[in-house]
Chain A
């Protein structure tokens, strides 16, 4: 090959290039044109350049310069065309129907009873409570005796008990955790004890043989009924809303004295009386009371020095009332169509 032939080939390429570049209608076509003109594997310019080595030494410099010039011109034209095509093309590649649904994942859900427990725990955590737990299969002493239940007394009839054997029960309330905790840790004690409890109650719309309970316990020097009332009323306002009214009425639990039930004003009728509150205007929320000195003594504490208060509530009752669940059994059935209603 001579220099003249080399230059002629370059000129031919330079002459053809603008039309071919202009003919590229989209970015794919542009890529083909670029590869055909200046591609490293099989581009025309690469072909021509491969002849460079065959030229006489003295011609190579000029040939190289010309080739570079031709390449720069083609590259410039290619870039102009690419920019024009890119500007014209839709921004996100191939067209989509943006109204199609996102790729879905299954959503999980926390059980509605756990949601109530979470909320209660959250409120009492703000007040410095920590979480204590205890076994569900319990010694009768922790479940009854240590909690001041008199032996063979009608007070025992308040709890229909499932027995596991001599002096062994499925705990009928979370109150055994009071005694276990007080035996293990010195006052001050401020704990919340959520857990499952058992009763020999057959299923009906508002009873189940197993249900969750949340126990609360405060024991220290100088703790009074005023602390009980203030803390539980605060809880009610945090849980049910700022304006929630509460009332305390006398009750009886062997392990507290004085014992009090706490009601909140019925949210359905605002206290006027309706079927939800059985015309009373109030809805029972929890049982509470000052820890009976016999309980402190059962846990080896000096009942003159220490006083305390405790409460117990049933989150399942709260759950069925807040979600409008007609039958408590639904909470246990584990029907996926029910659980799905609580996805987040």
Chain B
């Protein structure tokens, strides 16, 4: 909402400068986001003093020496009759842009050089005065900026009005707040003093009224509780008077003509949207407020033809719609230069139907904005009289009749406020008298209720007061949030345990950052191409931001792969990143199944370059497998982690405690030829349930899990006191046999004294027959109480070899 500081002051003569008003509004009412000096164009002008002046013979001109503070006296030719030596005037140096849009240049006049211009009020756009240059009543040093000497020009305050306070969408509404905050009485703006009196036309509850040959009919008072119309004739459409132009321009509008400007005056001044129809363009001398019929159309003022339907409310004449009610008028009945008679609409439309029309038409206007939020319906009759008088005044016409169909709103229900509750919520005792004083100052009617409480009736312009807390907010802001106490009290510990997914996220993140990976937080939208044949499980956004990425991902790696491609496009091929993020799987009509996943992607150099290793090796399967192990251990502390071979492109499925939690895979990217292979790991961190905790208005406290103790502590194991015995096995393993199968046999057959079983070599080539490879393990044994005997170890070795040969066809490799 744009508020003119000068216009505001005509409603409430508060005597404060614009900055003070800004601070007051921000502290107590709504945030002032913008502070714009409307005469910023005067910033380059300075104060100058005339030092010498002589007339140029046979002309009206004078030749002057002027001190503009620059240190050298400037020669200036001036056409004004009132140049006085020693006086100070506004001065435009050469190069200054004048408000009228031309630049002051150094020029030759009658053989003399003029270096700038001494300015009149009119040249500065400060009025019509042009009898001479503007003598300044100031002692300011020459060269001082003009704006610091004269309080010139209006200031526009841009207020961020939130949906609960539509009453602030006018100068009147903001003035009410300033009046209350400064203790200043409100007044009728001076520009309205000259208006003729127009007797009001109170609403009598009729849904059909007729006067001066016009009939107004309301199809449904739920859509349009009140409709006022004024018939004004004998008008001359033309330019607006200056005061009206200034009002329109002060709020950022453009002056169009006296009639349209007057309607904008009512909108911005009083918050009442109004519309003027050319009365001769209304067919059948009838205005009907009704729903649009299917198939009807309307060309609105902006020249767009709009298809209408019954969700939209229109004003129609006897035959066709002439306006989209509460949104925009129709072009056919627009006021033109030829108009002499208008019907001025001053109506109240239901917020919901205006909202529906506005959304349907995709057209938001100043009027629809206010109707959607709610106008002051009780003021409608007064606005009708005022509007009629204003238009008659500025258009030089007369008011033929006022019509007012429908009913004025009922008085609002009162709301009770208890001082004890105010004290509890604000942490400060505010007496009943003070509560009454504060609320009364902004138009609330307060009566003493029972037990010290106050029964408070909100004014007709406030639609946001339904319960006690709404009044407490008014009390708090009027006193000022900054003046309320801020003492900190001790607090009882809460009952809510840390969410396990958050603690797991932290563990996983620490582990992966320690492995040299970067955390990323990309967007989860996806094209769905990577989803494969079961893409049916993808969740689609009904109104996606981009049609090429309408889905939510089911896999974090899908996102990471795209991020890798983004980097590859920027010639970055050494990538190591991870994300802990959400995945979504469709579940029919229910909310998607939501899981927290950890994804990681590595490709390119395994280490930075070092002089011992000019070309560091690239990340390979074994790095990915190790990272998967580290990740799984961090995500599932204490669980046994296993990697089960998968089928391409999945290298391994990751198991924790025997349950598959994710996979390690070789990724296919849209990659340039120089890119190294990419590997990915994705595991499930946990499900995020989205089923309702309890019914609406209910809770499930009885089932609340308690804050639990940390995980089982590690148990100490006695340190070994006996020596180990070890032997190596170099085995010829046929290609069909997996290392894990061999190791499984080694572990089962070796017995409980096997302490470690480590694969330390894989070899193919000389001495190893084709179709086989050599794998070597070192087995370490220890008996907890005694030294193992040579014979025992030898027996173990024999048994292991026998079993391997029998079960897997694996034999020792002989030298």
Cβ of B469: which chain A residues have Cβ within 8 Å of it? Answer: 257-258, 290, 292-293
Across the interface, B520 reaches (CB within 8 A) one of A229, A252, A259, A334, namely A334
A133 is an interface residue with CB less than 8 A from chain B: yes
B163 adjacent to A157 (CB under 8 Å): yes
Q: Which of the candidate stretches B244-252, B537-545, B721-729 sits at the interface with the other chain?
A: B537-545
> Smallest CB–CB gap between A298 and chain B, Å?
6
A202 adjacent to B698 (CB under 8 Å): no
Across the interface, B521 reaches (CB within 8 A) one of A108, A136, A146, A332, namely A332
Instruction: Please report the C-alpha to C-alpha distance between residue A85 and residue B698 in the assembled complex, in whole angstroms.
Output: 87
CB nearest to A106 among chain B residues? B516
Across the interface, B477 reaches (CB within 8 A) one of A155, A233, A250, A343, namely A250
B494 adjacent to A189 (CB under 8 Å): yes
B110 is an interface residue with CB less than 8 A from chain A: no
Cβ of B574: which chain A residues have Cβ within 8 Å of it? Answer: 336
B576 is an interface residue with CB less than 8 A from chain A: yes
Instruction: Please report the C-alpha to C-alpha distance between residue A242 and residue B574 in the assembled complex, in whole angstroms.
Output: 42
Cβ of B517: which chain A residues have Cβ within 8 Å of it? Answer: 106, 108
Across the interface, B575 reaches (CB within 8 A) one of A146, A257, A336, namely A336
CB nearest to B470 among chain A residues? A257
Cβ of A229: which chain B residues have Cβ within 8 Å of it? Answer: 481, 484-486
Contact with B along A266-309 (1 / 0, CB 8 A): 00000000000011000000000010110001111100000100
A111 adjacent to B473 (CB under 8 Å): no
Task: Count contacts on A: residues with CB < 8 A to the other chain.
Answer: 109
> Smallest CB–CB gap between A330 and chain B, Å?
11
A130 adjacent to B491 (CB under 8 Å): no
A339 adjacent to B543 (CB under 8 Å): no
Interface residues of A in 156-200 (CB under 8 A from B): 157-158, 162-166, 168, 170, 180-191, 194, 196, 200
> Smallest CB–CB gap between A295 and chain B, Å?
11
Instruction: Please report the C-alpha to C-alpha distance between residue A292 and residue B704 in the assembled complex, in whole angstroms.
Output: 23
Cβ of B425: which chain A residues have Cβ within 8 Å of it? Answer: 224-225, 290, 307
Q: Which of the candidate stretches A52-60, A87-95, A97-105 sits at the interface with the other chain?
A: A97-105
Contact with B along A141-162 (1 / 0, CB 8 A): 1100110000011110110001
A6 is an interface residue with CB less than 8 A from chain B: no
B512 is an interface residue with CB less than 8 A from chain A: yes
A110 adjacent to B486 (CB under 8 Å): no
A8 is an interface residue with CB less than 8 A from chain B: no
A222 is an interface residue with CB less than 8 A from chain B: yes
Q: A106-B576, A335-B567 are in contact. Are A234 and B488 (CB under 8 A)?
A: yes
A226 adjacent to B487 (CB under 8 Å): yes
Interface residues on B, range: 35 or more
Contact with A along B335-377 (1 / 0, CB 8 A): 0000000000000000110010000000000000000110000
Cβ of A128: which chain B residues have Cβ within 8 Å of it? Answer: 491, 493-494
> Smallest CB–CB gap between A324 and chain B, Å?
19
Cβ of B489: which chain A residues have Cβ within 8 Å of it? Answer: 222, 226-227
Cβ of A146: which chain B residues have Cβ within 8 Å of it? Answer: 696
Cβ of A145: which chain B residues have Cβ within 8 Å of it? Answer: 696
With a 10 A CB-CB cut-off, give which of A146, A200, A210, A336 has the most chain B CB atoms: A336
Interface residues of B in 18-75 (CB under 8 A from A): 26-31, 33, 35
Across the interface, B688 reaches (CB within 8 A) one of A135, A218, A261, A293, namely A135
> Smallest CB–CB gap between B127 and chain A, Å?
29
Cβ of A80: which chain B residues have Cβ within 8 Å of it? Answer: none
B701 adjacent to A334 (CB under 8 Å): no
Cβ of B514: which chain A residues have Cβ within 8 Å of it? Answer: 108
Cβ of A227: which chain B residues have Cβ within 8 Å of it? Answer: 427, 488-489, 491
Q: A224-B425, A292-B469 are in contact. Are A137 and B477 (CB under 8 A)?
A: no
Across the interface, A111 reaches (CB within 8 A) one of B520, B692, B698, B703, namely B520
Instruction: Please report the C-alpha to C-alpha distance between residue A229 and residue B701 in the assembled complex, in whole angstroms.
Output: 29
> Smallest CB–CB gap between A247 and chain B, Å?
6
A225 adjacent to B26 (CB under 8 Å): no
Q: Give the total number of A-B pairs whose CB atoms are below 8 A apart.
A: 306
Interface residues of A in 102-144 (CB under 8 A from B): 103-111, 113-114, 127-139, 141-142
B611 is an interface residue with CB less than 8 A from chain A: yes
CB nearest to B374 among chain A residues? A154
Interface residues of B in 305-322 (CB under 8 A from A): none
Cβ of A226: which chain B residues have Cβ within 8 Å of it? Answer: 426-428, 484-489
Cβ of B802: which chain A residues have Cβ within 8 Å of it? Answer: none
> Smallest CB–CB gap between B605 and chain A, Å?
8
Cβ of B486: which chain A residues have Cβ within 8 Å of it? Answer: 226, 229-230, 233
Q: A108-B518, A188-B493 are in contact. Are A250 and B481 (CB under 8 A)?
A: yes
Cβ of A339: which chain B residues have Cβ within 8 Å of it? Answer: 518-520, 577
B424 is an interface residue with CB less than 8 A from chain A: yes
Interface residues of A in 41-96 (CB under 8 A from B): none
B811 is an interface residue with CB less than 8 A from chain A: no
A322 is an interface residue with CB less than 8 A from chain B: no
Across the interface, A183 reaches (CB within 8 A) one of B29, B491, B698, namely B698
Contact with A along B534-553 (1 / 0, CB 8 A): 00000111111100000010
Contact with A along B576-593 (1 / 0, CB 8 A): 110001101000010110
Across the interface, A114 reaches (CB within 8 A) one of B472, B509, B563, B693, namely B509
> Smallest CB–CB gap between B464 and chain A, Å?
8
Interface residues of B in 680-713 (CB under 8 A from A): 688-690, 692-694, 696-701, 703-704, 707
> Smallest CB–CB gap between B524 and chain A, Å?
7
Instruction: Please report the C-alpha to C-alpha distance between residue A162 and residue B694 in the assembled complex, in whole angstroms.
Output: 25
Cβ of A323: which chain B residues have Cβ within 8 Å of it? Answer: none
Across the interface, B541 reaches (CB within 8 A) one of A170, A249, A333, A340, namely A170
Across the interface, A133 reaches (CB within 8 A) one of B502, B540, B698, B703, namely B502
B806 is an interface residue with CB less than 8 A from chain A: no
A251 adjacent to B31 (CB under 8 Å): yes
With a 10 A CB-CB cut-off, give which of B467, B488, B525, B575 has the most chain A CB atoms: B488
B195 is an interface residue with CB less than 8 A from chain A: no
A184 adjacent to B693 (CB under 8 Å): yes
Across the interface, A249 reaches (CB within 8 A) one of B473, B481, B524, namely B481
Across the interface, A101 reaches (CB within 8 A) one of B35, B611, B694, namely B611
Contact with A along B581-621 (1 / 0, CB 8 A): 11010000101101000000000000111111000000000
- 29 chain-A/chain-B pairs, Cβ below 8 angstroms: A104-B610, A108-B515, A108-B519, A110-B513, A111-B519, A114-B519, A128-B494, A132-B499, A135-B594, A137-B584, A137-B690, A138-B591, A164-B591, A183-B699, A188-B491, A188-B494, A189-B495, A196-B581, A220-B492, A224-B427, A227-B491, A247-B481, A248-B481, A251-B162, A259-B473, A297-B697, A334-B522, A334-B563, A336-B572
* 17 more A-B residue pairs beyond the given contacts A153-B351, A164-B591, with a C-beta to C-beta distance below 8 A: A100-B611, A103-B607, A136-B584, A186-B699, A194-B502, A227-B491, A247-B27, A250-B473, A251-B31, A257-B473, A260-B481, A290-B425, A332-B521, A333-B522, A334-B518, A334-B567, A335-B566
